Structure 1
Amino acid sequence: MGLIAEFQIDCDALPLVSVADAVPEAAITLSLQYNHGRHPLFLATVTGGSREAIERALTEAADVQTWTLIGTAGDTRRYQAVPALSFEEQLGGAIDDLDGLEALATADAIIERIAVTPDGWTQIGWFADRAAFTEFSTFWQQNADFGLERLTRDAEPKSPGNGLTDRQQEALRTAYEMGHFEIPRRASLDDVAAELGISASSLSERLRRAQTQLIQETVATLWPPLPD
């Protein structure tokens, strides 16, 4: 029976991490288009953050040669970017075992989602069995900081909250109950963070990840936007 895993890879050399670091208030998901040989295109979906800040960060990113805005839907924008670096140039300074990383492409696994964070990538993947997941997790444990958020069997029902982690559910619930989402706001980000005993920046990232997950499970399935 297969496994579904959600995990964080902390490695600032991964593609578009510099963009997420420059605009931390934006939620960025990434897919790679592999029909361009060893230079797969970056396909990025960005929700939140100012358009000017995101596009300035894309222009200044060392791993982006050129970028194109493909489309917008409300606060969400989709970009296609041509990488400026080879595989070795992108990751060679941070990861010693590049052959091992390339070998992961043939593992019995499918990476379903990549969320780009200021520290690295958060990924959700499907793995054929425990051996396939162990191969993947062992590599990243040896070459970067690897943190497992969730591991379930593929036949198990989805956890309540549309795939949210316990910490994300707690953050959303507390922010809602304290009036952080009301207009006007009754509780600031600092107020909610103090209630949870975490920093405001950690709370901001937790809320963004939770909101992105909910968007992907609900309204994102309607992309492109329906006509009026």
Structure 2
Amino acid sequence: MTVIADISVPADAFPLGRVLEDIPGVEIELERIVPLQEAIIPLFWISGGEASTIDTTLRDHPETKAVDQLTSAEDATLFEVRWSPDINGLIGALVDTRAKILEATGTADEWEFRLRFSSHEELSTFNVALTENDIPVTLRHIYNPTLPEDEAALSAEQRDALLTAYRQGYFEVPRRTTLTELADTVEISDSALSQRLRRATNAVVEDALLRDDDPNE
């Protein structure tokens, strides 16, 4: 049975946290992790710092094999980093248990994850792996999505952002508000709101339009 867990870990338990701990004020949103045979490649958005400084910091870290800046949006930059496949700890546990990262954000102090596991056994295996690597983890919330509307796994923050954008006319043509004005309303940065809206929209589309699709088509 599918289980979803909201957890938080200290930033130094996660490679990106260790790499960027000397750059205060950065905000990171993990896009996804691609496990390959020869490397592990995370894609993530970083805001709150100079892209060139972040790039140099990433490249100079011993855990990093390669870095690419893919694109920029608002005040955030999308980075692709290549790590060695033998990296352990939190990343190893995520890859080994095939956890799906629904949402992940971090600062220089703490990372928060919303993870989907295919079973309670995989969640248990994940917790054991963290314990064996001396990684302190706080389990903030855990639940089993059983109703159809739960499967999109919209977080409270995503739902609030989507409803606020709708009510203030962000989706109208022409728009009645801007991304900057919306960000001020929900008290987060432009880039963080942009990513939150995109993830929320993606989840709603999957839930509303793809639920009955044949996966084999």
TM-score by length of 2: 0.60
Residue identity over aligned pairs, in percent, reads 20
Partner of 1:44: 44
Partner of 1:202: none
| Contact kept in structure 2, 1:28 and 1:45, CA below 8 Å | yes
Partner of 1:111: 101
The answer to whether structure 1 residue 162 and structure 2 residue 158 are counterparts is yes
| Contact kept in structure 1, 2:6 and 2:112, CA below 8 Å | yes
Unaligned runs of at least 5 residues, structure 1 = 165-180, 183-206, 224-228
Partner of 2:70: 70
| Distance 1:107-1:159 versus aligned 2 partners, 3 A rule | closer
Aligned partner of 2:145: which letter? D
Partner of 1:147: 138
Q: Deviations over 1:12-50 (max 9, x none)?
A: 263222333122312113332223x14122322112322
For residue 163 of structure 1, report the CA deviation from its aligned partner.
6.4
Within 5 Å, give how 1:1-228 maps onto structure 2. Answer: 1-10=1-10, 12=12, 14-30=14-30, 31-35=32-36, 37-83=37-83, 85=84, 87=86, 90-91=87-88, 105-107=95-97, 109-119=99-109, 121-143=111-133, 144-155=135-146, 157=150, 158=154, 160-162=156-158, 212=192, 214-219=193-198
**CA distance in 2 between partners of 1:43 and 1:159 (Å):** 21
Q: Deviations over 1:149-178 (max 9, x none)?
A: 2222223655644368xxxxxxxxxxxxxx
**CA distance in 1 between partners of 2:42 and 2:98 (Å):** 23
Unaligned runs of at least 5 residues, structure 2 = 161-179, 182-186, 203-217
For residue 147 of structure 1, report the CA deviation from its aligned partner.
0.7
For residue 11 of structure 1, report the CA deviation from its aligned partner.
6.4
| Contact kept in structure 2, 1:17 and 1:118, CA below 8 Å | yes
For residue 217 of structure 1, report the CA deviation from its aligned partner.
2.8
Q: Deviations over 1:105-136 (max 9, x none)?
A: 45364233343443564321112233322222
TM-score by length of 1: 0.58
* C-alpha RMSD over aligned residues: 3.7
| Contact kept in structure 1, 2:26 and 2:107, CA below 8 Å | no
| Contact kept in structure 2, 1:27 and 1:115, CA below 8 Å | yes
**CA distance in 1 between partners of 2:157 and 2:49 (Å):** 25
| Contact kept in structure 2, 1:20 and 1:116, CA below 8 Å | no
